[in-house]
Amino acid sequence: MKRSRIAMATAIFAFATVLSFAGSAPTVGSAAPEFTLNSQEGTPVSLKDFRGKWVVLYFYPKDFTSGCTIEAHNFQRDLTQYEQKNAVIIGVSVDSADSHKQFCTKEGLNFKLLADVDYKVSTTYDSVMTYKDMKLAARHTFIINPEGKIVKVYTDVKPNEHSAEVLAELAELQK
Protein backbone atom coordinates (compact mmCIF):
# COMPACT_ATOMS: atom_id res chain seq x y z
CA MET A 1 0.00 0.00 0.00
CA LYS A 2 2.77 2.43 0.95
CA ARG A 3 4.71 1.61 -2.24
CA SER A 4 1.66 2.33 -4.38
CA ARG A 5 1.25 5.73 -2.70
CA ILE A 6 4.91 6.51 -3.31
CA ALA A 7 4.56 5.40 -6.92
CA MET A 8 1.42 7.52 -7.31
CA ALA A 9 3.12 10.56 -5.74
CA THR A 10 6.12 10.07 -8.03
CA ALA A 11 3.85 9.82 -11.09
CA ILE A 12 1.96 12.97 -10.11
CA PHE A 13 5.22 14.85 -9.54
CA ALA A 14 6.57 13.69 -12.92
CA PHE A 15 3.34 14.71 -14.67
CA ALA A 16 3.38 18.12 -12.97
CA THR A 17 7.01 18.59 -14.00
CA VAL A 18 6.15 17.80 -17.63
CA LEU A 19 3.24 20.26 -17.48
CA SER A 20 5.48 22.99 -16.09
CA PHE A 21 7.65 22.75 -19.20
CA ALA A 22 4.77 22.36 -21.66
CA GLY A 23 4.05 25.44 -23.70
CA SER A 24 7.29 27.15 -22.71
CA ALA A 25 8.11 28.13 -26.28
CA PRO A 26 8.60 31.83 -26.88
CA THR A 27 5.34 33.30 -28.14
CA VAL A 28 4.42 35.94 -30.69
CA GLY A 29 5.11 39.35 -29.19
CA SER A 30 7.78 38.15 -26.78
CA ALA A 31 11.47 38.97 -27.03
CA ALA A 32 13.39 36.25 -28.82
CA PRO A 33 15.67 34.50 -26.31
CA GLU A 34 19.30 35.42 -26.92
CA PHE A 35 21.88 32.74 -27.65
CA THR A 36 25.35 32.13 -29.02
CA LEU A 37 26.24 28.93 -30.89
CA ASN A 38 29.06 27.87 -33.20
CA SER A 39 28.42 27.98 -36.94
CA GLN A 40 29.60 25.59 -39.63
CA GLU A 41 32.83 27.66 -39.71
CA GLY A 42 33.37 26.94 -36.01
CA THR A 43 32.90 30.61 -35.09
CA PRO A 44 30.39 31.86 -32.51
CA VAL A 45 27.21 33.44 -33.84
CA SER A 46 24.80 35.33 -31.58
CA LEU A 47 21.22 36.28 -32.27
CA LYS A 48 22.07 39.86 -31.29
CA ASP A 49 24.48 39.97 -34.27
CA PHE A 50 21.40 40.31 -36.49
CA ARG A 51 19.61 43.21 -34.75
CA GLY A 52 18.19 45.48 -37.42
CA LYS A 53 17.43 42.52 -39.71
CA TRP A 54 14.55 40.11 -39.96
CA VAL A 55 15.64 36.65 -38.78
CA VAL A 56 14.19 33.35 -39.92
CA LEU A 57 15.35 31.04 -37.14
CA TYR A 58 14.56 27.49 -38.15
CA PHE A 59 15.17 24.32 -36.17
CA TYR A 60 15.56 21.06 -38.04
CA PRO A 61 16.22 17.46 -36.98
CA LYS A 62 19.35 16.27 -38.80
CA ASP A 63 21.87 17.12 -41.50
CA PHE A 64 21.77 14.95 -44.64
CA THR A 65 18.21 13.67 -44.11
CA SER A 66 15.68 14.05 -46.92
CA GLY A 67 13.24 16.54 -45.34
CA CYS A 68 16.02 18.64 -43.86
CA THR A 69 17.88 18.71 -47.18
CA ILE A 70 14.74 19.77 -49.07
CA GLU A 71 14.01 22.52 -46.54
CA ALA A 72 17.62 23.79 -46.68
CA HIS A 73 17.69 23.71 -50.50
CA ASN A 74 14.49 25.75 -50.66
CA PHE A 75 15.87 28.37 -48.26
CA GLN A 76 19.06 28.47 -50.36
CA ARG A 77 17.06 28.74 -53.61
CA ASP A 78 15.15 31.71 -52.17
CA LEU A 79 18.11 33.36 -50.41
CA THR A 80 18.17 36.39 -52.76
CA GLN A 81 14.48 37.05 -51.99
CA TYR A 82 15.23 36.93 -48.25
CA GLU A 83 18.14 39.33 -48.70
CA GLN A 84 15.83 41.72 -50.60
CA LYS A 85 13.55 41.65 -47.53
CA ASN A 86 16.48 42.42 -45.18
CA ALA A 87 16.17 38.89 -43.76
CA VAL A 88 18.71 36.25 -42.81
CA ILE A 89 18.23 32.52 -42.56
CA ILE A 90 19.69 30.74 -39.52
CA GLY A 91 19.33 26.98 -39.17
CA VAL A 92 19.81 25.17 -35.86
CA SER A 93 20.13 21.47 -35.17
CA VAL A 94 21.86 19.37 -32.55
CA ASP A 95 24.46 18.20 -35.10
CA SER A 96 28.07 19.32 -34.68
CA ALA A 97 29.66 22.29 -36.45
CA ASP A 98 31.72 19.79 -38.45
CA SER A 99 28.56 17.98 -39.61
CA HIS A 100 27.08 21.37 -40.62
CA LYS A 101 30.25 22.23 -42.55
CA GLN A 102 30.05 18.96 -44.49
CA PHE A 103 26.31 19.46 -45.09
CA CYS A 104 26.82 23.02 -46.36
CA THR A 105 29.67 21.95 -48.63
CA LYS A 106 27.79 18.97 -50.08
CA GLU A 107 24.51 20.83 -50.53
CA GLY A 108 25.89 24.26 -51.54
CA LEU A 109 24.36 26.13 -48.59
CA ASN A 110 25.45 29.74 -48.02
CA PHE A 111 23.62 30.63 -44.80
CA LYS A 112 24.47 29.95 -41.17
CA LEU A 113 23.83 26.56 -39.62
CA LEU A 114 24.38 26.53 -35.88
CA ALA A 115 25.41 23.59 -33.71
CA ASP A 116 23.26 23.16 -30.59
CA VAL A 117 25.06 20.04 -29.38
CA ASP A 118 23.97 20.50 -25.75
CA TYR A 119 20.27 21.13 -26.67
CA LYS A 120 20.16 24.41 -24.73
CA VAL A 121 18.84 26.66 -27.49
CA SER A 122 16.50 24.01 -28.89
CA THR A 123 15.12 23.53 -25.38
CA THR A 124 14.76 27.28 -24.81
CA TYR A 125 12.73 27.51 -28.02
CA ASP A 126 10.72 24.38 -27.07
CA SER A 127 12.04 22.71 -30.21
CA VAL A 128 13.25 19.32 -28.98
CA MET A 129 11.81 15.94 -29.89
CA THR A 130 12.72 12.32 -29.40
CA TYR A 131 12.86 9.98 -32.38
CA LYS A 132 13.99 6.35 -32.06
CA ASP A 133 15.68 7.09 -28.72
CA MET A 134 17.54 10.06 -30.22
CA LYS A 135 17.05 13.61 -29.00
CA LEU A 136 16.76 15.94 -32.01
CA ALA A 137 15.65 19.47 -32.80
CA ALA A 138 11.99 19.61 -33.78
CA ARG A 139 11.08 21.22 -37.10
CA HIS A 140 9.96 24.66 -35.87
CA THR A 141 10.54 28.15 -37.25
CA PHE A 142 10.46 31.57 -35.61
CA ILE A 143 10.35 34.84 -37.52
CA ILE A 144 12.03 37.55 -35.46
CA ASN A 145 11.62 41.21 -36.37
CA PRO A 146 14.52 43.72 -36.52
CA GLU A 147 13.84 44.77 -32.91
CA GLY A 148 14.28 41.18 -31.67
CA LYS A 149 10.61 40.29 -31.10
CA ILE A 150 9.02 37.07 -32.29
CA VAL A 151 6.32 37.87 -34.83
CA LYS A 152 5.47 34.41 -36.18
CA VAL A 153 5.88 30.83 -34.93
CA TYR A 154 5.57 27.71 -37.10
CA THR A 155 5.29 24.32 -35.38
CA ASP A 156 3.75 22.34 -38.24
CA VAL A 157 6.40 22.73 -40.92
CA LYS A 158 6.23 20.99 -44.28
CA PRO A 159 9.74 21.15 -45.78
CA ASN A 160 8.62 21.32 -49.43
CA GLU A 161 6.57 24.50 -49.05
CA HIS A 162 8.03 26.15 -45.97
CA SER A 163 10.34 28.70 -47.60
CA ALA A 164 7.55 30.02 -49.83
CA GLU A 165 5.26 30.18 -46.78
CA VAL A 166 7.85 32.17 -44.80
CA LEU A 167 8.49 34.56 -47.71
CA ALA A 168 4.75 35.23 -48.03
CA GLU A 169 4.53 35.92 -44.28
CA LEU A 170 7.52 38.28 -44.41
CA ALA A 171 5.83 40.20 -47.24
CA GLU A 172 2.70 40.58 -45.07
CA LEU A 173 4.66 41.58 -41.97
CA GLN A 174 6.63 44.20 -43.88
CA LYS A 175 3.57 45.99 -45.37
β-bridge partners, 136: 129
What residues are labeled active site? 68
